[in-house]
C-alpha cells in the first residue's frame, strides 16, 4: 500500500504539465497512434499546460498580496481565509487509503456507465479527481464513516459525467466545433452551465430586460479598444493597485502584469489544443471501430476554454465586483484571495449559457458568485476541521475555499447532514 501511494503521490506531485502528457501518451498507444505522434502530442499538451500555469501564476503572485493589502488597508472584517485550490487539493490527497479507494470507485463507475451507454465521456482528467476526494472527505467528516464518504464522492462523479454530456452541444455552438470530441467535466463547470441556462430562462420572461443584448464583438470599432482583454487587464490591475495605495510605478507594474497574463492565456490554449486534437481524433476513431454507432468524448479540464476573450474579460471584471460583493452580501464571512485568480474559469459558464450576451453574462455571474460565497461560508467549519486533521492548518482560524463552486457536492453534503445531524 505504501509503495503504491508513494508512486501515486510522485505522479500527482509532478503537476498537470508532466502528468497529463504521460497519461495522454499512454492513451495514444492504447488507441493505436504512432509512438512518435503520441510523444509529440503529449509534449505539446505539456507545453500548453505549463504555459497556462505560468500565465496563471502571473495573476496569482500579483493579486494575492494586493488583495491582502486591500483587506488590511480598508479594514475588511471577514474571518474566513480562502485557502485556494493548491491547499485544498493537497488536503484531499492526504489520506492514501481513501485516494486509492476513490480513484478505483470513480474509474469503475465511469467504465460501467460507458458500457451501459449512460455516458459518452471517458474522464481522463485525473488531476481534477481531487474534487471527488474533497467532497468525499467532507462526507466522511459528517458521517464518521469512510465508506459513506466514498459513496458520496463516487455519486458526485457519476452526476458530473451525465451533466457534462448534456452541455456538449451548447459548448460547441458558442465556442466552436473544435471542442466536439471533448467533454469538460471539471466538477463545477457541468452544473454551472445548467444554472446559467436557468437564469437566462428567467431573464427571457422579464419584459425589457430580455431585449438587452450586449456583445463585445458588436461594439463599434471606435470603442472596441476599451473592450480588449489586455486593456481591461491593465486598467483593472492598475486601479486595484491604486486602491491598495501602491506607488505609481507599482501600479503600472501590476497593470502590465495583468495585461500580459490576459494576452498569454489564449496563446497557451491554442498550443494545448494543437496537442490534444490528434489524441482526441485517435480516441474517437478507435472507440467508433469497437462500438459502432456510439459517440465517445474525452473528459478534460475546462481550463481548455479559458483562452476565450469574453471569458477572460468577464473574469477580470469580476475581481473588483467579487470584492464588493464580499463586503455587501449579508452573512458572508469569506474574503476571496487565492480564489480570485480562478474567476476567469467561473465566468466560462455565464458567457456560454448567455451565448455571449455580456449583459446577461454579468447578471448570471453575479448570481453564481453569490452562490459561491454562500457555499464557502457554509462549508467553513467542515473545511477548517479537515485542514486541522490533515495538519495543513493550525487550530484557531477559520478556513474555506472560494472556488468555482461545488454545487452538486454541496447539495449531497446537505442531504447527508439530514441523516447524520451534528
pLDDT digits (tens, 9 = 90+) for 36-81: 888 888 888 788 777 766 776 676 677 667 767 877 777 766 777 7
Average pLDDT over residues 393-410: 78
pTM assigned to the model: 0.76
Average pLDDT over residues 264-273: 72
Cβ-in-10-Å burial (0-12, 13-18, 19+) of 237 comes to buried
Lowest model confidence (mean pLDDT) among 114-118, 321-325, 378-382, 388-392 = 388-392
Lowest model confidence (mean pLDDT) among 91-100, 151-160, 195-204 = 91-100
From 56, 95, 75, select the one nearest 258 (Cα to Cα).
Answer: 56
Choose the most confident range, by mean pLDDT, from 19-28, 62-71, 104-113, 296-305: 104-113
- Residue 157: band (very low, low, confident or very high) from pLDDT cuts 50, 70, 90: very high
Average pLDDT over residues 128-153: 91
Over residues 183-213, the pLDDT tens digits come to: 888 767 788 888 889 999 999 999 988 888 8
Would you say residue 220 has pLDDT above 60? no
Classify residue 262 by its DSSP letter: H
- Residue 308: band (very low, low, confident or very high) from pLDDT cuts 50, 70, 90: confident
Measured between alpha carbons, how far is 137 from 288 in angstroms, rounded to an integer?
37
The pLDDT, as a whole number, for residue 221 is 57
Question: What percent helix, strand, coil does the chain show, rounded to 5?
Answer: 75, 5, 20
Measured between alpha carbons, how far is 67 from 323 in angstroms, rounded to an integer?
9
Would you say residue 272 has pLDDT above 90? no
Would you say residue 224 has pLDDT above 60? no
From 80, 133, 84, select the one nearest 105 (Cα to Cα).
Answer: 133
Q: Between 373 and 277, where is the model more confident?
A: 373
Cβ contacts of residue 65 below 8 Å, gap of 6+? none
Measured between alpha carbons, how far is 287 from 392 in angstroms, rounded to an integer?
43
- The secondary structure of 186-197, three-state, reads CCHHHHHHHHHH
The pLDDT, as a whole number, for residue 217 is 64
**What does pLDDT average to over the chain?**
80
Average pLDDT over residues 287-314: 76
Would you say residue 219 has pLDDT above 70? no
Cβ contacts of residue 363 below 8 Å, gap of 6+? 199, 203
- Residue 123: band (very low, low, confident or very high) from pLDDT cuts 50, 70, 90: confident
Amino acid at each position: 500500500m505504501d509503495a503504491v501511494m508513494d508512486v501515486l503521490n510522485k505522479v500527482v506531485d509532478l503537476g498537470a504539465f508532466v502528468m497529463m502528457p504521460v497519461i495522454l501518451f499512454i492513451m495514444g498507444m492504447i488507441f493505436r497512434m504512432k509512438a512518435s505522434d503520441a510523444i509529440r502530442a503529449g509534449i505539446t499538451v505539456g507545453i500548453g499546460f505549463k504555459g497556462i500555469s505560468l500565465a496563471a501564476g502571473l495573476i496569482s503572485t500579483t493579486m494575492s498580496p494586493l488583495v491582502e493589502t486591500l483587506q488590511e488597508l480598508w479594514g475588511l472584517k471577514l474571518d474566513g481565509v480562502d485557502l485556494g485550490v493548491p491547499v485544498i487539493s493537497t488536503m484531499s490527497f492526504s489520506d492514501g487509503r481513501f485516494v486509492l479507494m476513490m480513484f478505483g470507485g470513480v474509474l469503475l463507475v465511469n467504465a460501467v456507465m460507458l458500457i451501459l451507454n449512460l455516458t459518452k465521456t471517458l474522464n481522463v482528467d485525473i488531476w481534477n479527481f481531487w474534487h471527488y476526494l474533497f467532497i468525499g472527505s467532507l462526507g466522511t467528516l459528517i458521517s464518521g464513516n469512510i465508506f459513506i464518504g466514498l459513496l458520496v464522492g463516487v455519486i458526485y462523479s457519476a452526476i458530473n459525467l451525465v451533466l457534462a454530456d448534456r452541455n456538449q452541444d451548447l459548448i460547441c455552438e458558442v465556442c466552436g466545433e473544435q471542442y466536439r470530441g471533448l467533454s469538460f467535466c471539471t466538477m463545477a463547470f457541468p452544473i454551472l452551465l445548467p444554472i446559467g441556462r436557468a437564469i437566462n430562462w428567467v431573464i427571457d420572461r422579464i419584459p425589457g430586460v430580455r431585449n438587452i443584448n450586449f456583445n463585445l464583438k458588436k461594439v463599434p470599432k471606435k470603442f472596441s479598444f476599451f473592450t480588449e482583454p489586455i486593456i481591461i487587464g491593465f486598467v483593472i490591475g492598475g486601479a486595484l493597485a491604486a486602491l491598495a495605495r501602491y506607488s505609481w510605478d507599482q501600479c503600472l507594474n501590476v497593470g502590465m502584469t495583468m495585461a500580459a497574463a490576459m494576452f498569454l492565456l489564449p496563446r497557451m490554449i491554442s498550443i494545448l489544443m494543437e496537442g490534444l486534437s490528434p489524441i482526441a481524433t485517435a480516441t474517437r476513431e478507435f472507440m467508433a471501430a469497437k462500438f459502432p454507432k456510439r459517440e465517445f468524448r474525452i473528459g478534460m479540464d475546462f481550463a481548455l476554454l479559458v483562452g476565450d476573450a469574453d471569458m477572460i474579460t468577464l473574469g477580470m471584471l469580476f475581481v473588483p465586483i467579487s470584492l464588493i460583493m464580499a463586503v455587501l452580501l449579508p452573512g458572508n464571512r469569506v474574503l476571496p484571495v487565492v480564489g480570485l485568480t480562478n474567476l476567469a474559469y467561473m465566468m466560462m459558464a455565464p458567457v456560454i449559457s448567455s451565448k455571449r450576451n455580456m449583459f446577461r453574462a454579468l447578471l448570471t455571474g453575479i448570481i453564481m458568485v453569490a452562490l459561491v460565497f454562500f457555499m464557502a461560508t457554509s462549508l467553513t467549519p467542515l473545511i477548517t476541521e479537515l485542514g486541522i486533521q490533515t495538519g495543513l492548518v493550525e487550530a484557531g482560524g477559520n478556513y474555506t475555499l472560494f472556488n468555482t463552486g461545488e454545487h452538486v457536492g454541496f447539495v449531497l453534503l446537505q442531504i447527508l447532514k439530514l441523516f447524520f445531524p451534528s
